[in-house]
Structure 1
Amino acid sequence: MGKEKRQKEEKPGKRKKKSHRLYALVVLLLGIAIIALGVLILFYVQKIEISGNEYCTDQEIADTVQSDKYSINTLYILGKYALGYGEQLPCLESMEVGLKAPWVLKVTVKEKPIVGYVRNGEDYAYFDKAGLVVSESSSLIEGLPCIEGIEVKDIKLYKQLRSDDTRIFEEILETSKEVVKYHLSTDRIVCKDDKIYLHIGKVCVSLGKNVSSEQIAQIAPIMEKLGDQEGTLHLENYSETTETITFDIGEFPEEK
C-alpha cells in the first residue's frame, strides 16, 4: 500500500517536468524560427553594386550572380562563391563578391581585355587575345583594330572565332595581342596574300607572314620619326638578327 501511494504522489511531479521540457522545446523552436526569419529578411538581396566593368553590362553580371532560385539571400550567395560554386561570365578574368550591407552585395569584376573586332552583319564582335568573342554590340569601340581579309565562321558570343586558314588566323590573333601590349592605336589589321598589314593613320605597316613581338616594338618610335608622312613601312624582314627597315613614301599595297 505504501509503495502504491508513493507512486501516485510522484506522478504529478513527472508531469510537471514533462510540461517544462515541452515548453522549453517550443520556446527553442520559436526562437530558431524567429532567427531564421530575421536572417531571411535582413539578408534578402535588395541591391547589387557592380564595379570594374566596361563592356559587360551590370544586368549580365547581376543575372549571373543570381543564377539560381536560392540566390535571393546575400549569405547564400557569399557562401556559394566562397566555396567555388558561383558562376562567372566567360568574358571576365576575375569576380569578387562581398557585402556592403546585409542586404547589399558588392561585386568587383575584371574583364578580359579586348584586342580587336570583326564585323558580324550590322554588329561588331569583339574578341580577346585567345580569339574568344567577349562582347557583341551595335556600337563601335574606338581605338581597336578591325580584322579584314580573312573569313571568320560561326561568330557567336562566348565562342572561339574560327577560320579555315588556321595558321594566318593565329598570326592575326598574335598581332592583335602585341598591338594592345605596345599600346598602338591601329585602325585595321588586314590579311592579304597570306601577309599581314597594320593600318595606322596614313601609314601601312607590312609585317609579312610571321609576326613577332620585336617587329611590333619598333612601330611606335618609327611612327614618331615619320611625323605626317604617308606610305608603307616595311618590317617584314626585321628580326633580332636582321634589322632591315625601309619606308616607301606615298606607296601602298593594292587593296583587294
Structure 2
Amino acid sequence: MIREKRRRRRKRKRILRIILTILVIAALAALIVFKVFTVEKVEITGNELYTNQQIEDWVLNDEHSWNSLYVYFKYKLKETKELPFVDSMDISLKSPHTVKINVYEKGVLGYLYVPSLGKNAYFDKDGFVVELSSDIIEGTTKISGISVETAQLYKKLPLENESILKTLLNVSQLLKKYELEPEIIYVTPEDQVLLSYGNIQVNVGGNVNLNEKIVRLQKIMPEVAKMKGTLHLEDWSETNTDIYFEKNELTEIPKDVQQVPKSGSTEENSKKEENSNAEDSAQKDSGQKASDSKKDDQSSDKKDTAN
C-alpha cells in the first residue's frame, strides 16, 4: 500500500516535471518569437512598376507585421489579396530580422483605354491582356489613336488591323529595350506611329526599319530633348538617310472620352460615385414627395372651389 502511494507520487512528480518543462520551452519559444523575430530590414527584388516602399507597405499591412515569423507564415499558409499587376510574390526570411521579397510582376508593355468597360487594358509583349484596371501605373506607355470594343483578361487585344498590333508590339519592345519609352504612342489616321515625349514628338512611320530608326533615335534624342517640335524618322531607309526636325510642329493627340483616375484614387472615386448616387436618390425621393404634396394641395383647392 505504501509502495503504491510512493509510486503514484513519483508518477505525479514526473508528469509535473514534464508539464513544467513544456511550459518553460513554450515560454522560451514565445520569447524568441517576440524578441528575436522582429522586422528590421526588408529586401525587395524584381519590382519595376511599384517602388520598394509600396511593396513593403503592401506586405507589412497589419498590426502584427512587425514580427518576421508572422509575416513569413502569413504569406505561406494564407491566401492574401492580390496586388494589381503582380503575378506573385515569394517571401522568405534571410535572417530573423530580415524579410526578403521577390516580386514577379506581369510583363506589362503598355495600355489602352476601353470605353465600354471604363477601364484600361494592360497588355504584354504578345498583345495579351494581363490586367484590366481603372488605375494608371506611372511610367507605362499609353496607346492612343486605336480602339477596341471590349477586352478580356488573358486574351489577345481584339484589333481588327493585325498589322497595326504587330507594329505597336514591335515598337514598344524596341523602345523598352533602348530605354526610350514615351508617354504616349499615337497611331495617326494614316497608320503612322507617333511617339510623344511631351514637347518632343517622333514620327517613326510604319513597321519598316524600326530597329534602325530607334537606334538612331537613341543617339539623336539628347540633342533635341530641350527643344519643341517633331523629329521625322518615317522616311528613313538604307537608301534614304534623311532625318529632320521640324520646330514647333506638334500633332494634337485626341484625349480619351472619359478621364481615368490615377493610381490610388480608384477607391476614393468609387466612394464619391456611391455618395453621388445616394444624393441623386434622396433628391428623387424629395422631388416625388414635393410632387405628391403639390397634387394634394391642388386637389384640396378644387374641392374648396366646388364648395
Q: Same fold (TM over 0.5)?
A: yes
Greater fraction helix: 2
| TM-aligned CA distance change 1:24 to 1:153, over 3 Å | farther
CA displacement at 1:10 relative to structure 2: 3.2
CA displacement at 1:45 relative to structure 2: 7.2
What's the secondary structure of 1:206's corresponding residue? Answer: strand
Question: Which aligned pairs between 1:91-110 and structure 2 lie closer than 5 A?
Answer: 91-92=85-86, 97-98=92-93, 105=99, 107=101
- Say whether the 8 Å CA contact 1:115–1:145 is kept in structure 2: yes
Residue 50 of structure 2 is matched in structure 1 by: 56
Q: Distance in 1 between matches of 2:92 and 2:81?
A: 11
Residue 34 of structure 1 is matched in structure 2 by: 27
1:184 equivalent to 2:180? Answer yes
Greater fraction strand: 1
Q: Distance in 2 between matches of 1:160 and 1:77?
A: 34
- The code of the aligned residue for 2:10 comes to K
CA displacement at 1:223 relative to structure 2: 4.6
- Say whether the 8 Å CA contact 1:61–1:89 is kept in structure 2: no
What's the secondary structure of 2:203's corresponding residue? Answer: strand
* TM-score w.r.t. length of structure 2: 0.52
Q: Distance in 2 between matches of 1:132 and 1:87?
A: 17
How far does the alpha carbon of each residue in 1:128-165 deviate from its partner, in whole angstroms, 9 at most, with x for none? 75364497547x847x6432111146579x97783323
Residue 198 of structure 1 is matched in structure 2 by: 195
Say which of 198, 219, 239 aligns to 1:221.
219
Question: Which aligned pairs between 1:6-17 and structure 2 lie closer than 5 A?
Answer: 8=1, 10-17=3-10
Q: Distance in 2 between matches of 1:41 and 1:199?
A: 53
Residue 168 of structure 1 is matched in structure 2 by: 164
1:74 equivalent to 2:71? Answer no
CA displacement at 1:25 relative to structure 2: 2.2
Q: Distance in 1 between matches of 2:17 and 2:106?
A: 57
5+ long unaligned stretches in structure 2: 255-307
- Say whether the 8 Å CA contact 1:129–1:174 is kept in structure 2: no
- Say whether the 8 Å CA contact 2:204–2:210 is kept in structure 1: no
| TM-aligned CA distance change 1:173 to 1:247, over 3 Å | same
- The code of the aligned residue for 1:204 comes to V
Q: Distance in 2 between matches of 1:169 and 1:213?
A: 17
Aligned length: 238
| TM-aligned CA distance change 1:105 to 1:135, over 3 Å | farther
Q: Distance in 2 between matches of 1:231 and 1:76?
A: 55
- The code of the aligned residue for 2:212 comes to E
Residue 5 of structure 1 is matched in structure 2 by: none
CA displacement at 1:54 relative to structure 2: 7.4
Identity between Structure 1 and Structure 2 (%):
20
- The code of the aligned residue for 1:172 comes to L
How far does the alpha carbon of each residue in 1:59-113 deviate from its partner, in whole angstroms, 9 at most, with x for none? 675445669xx98853243357689x988746348665447865x8565758678
CA displacement at 1:167 relative to structure 2: 4.1
- The code of the aligned residue for 2:232 comes to L
5+ long unaligned stretches in structure 1: 1-7
Residue 3 of structure 1 is matched in structure 2 by: none
- The code of the aligned residue for 2:215 comes to A
What's the secondary structure of 1:246's corresponding residue? Answer: coil
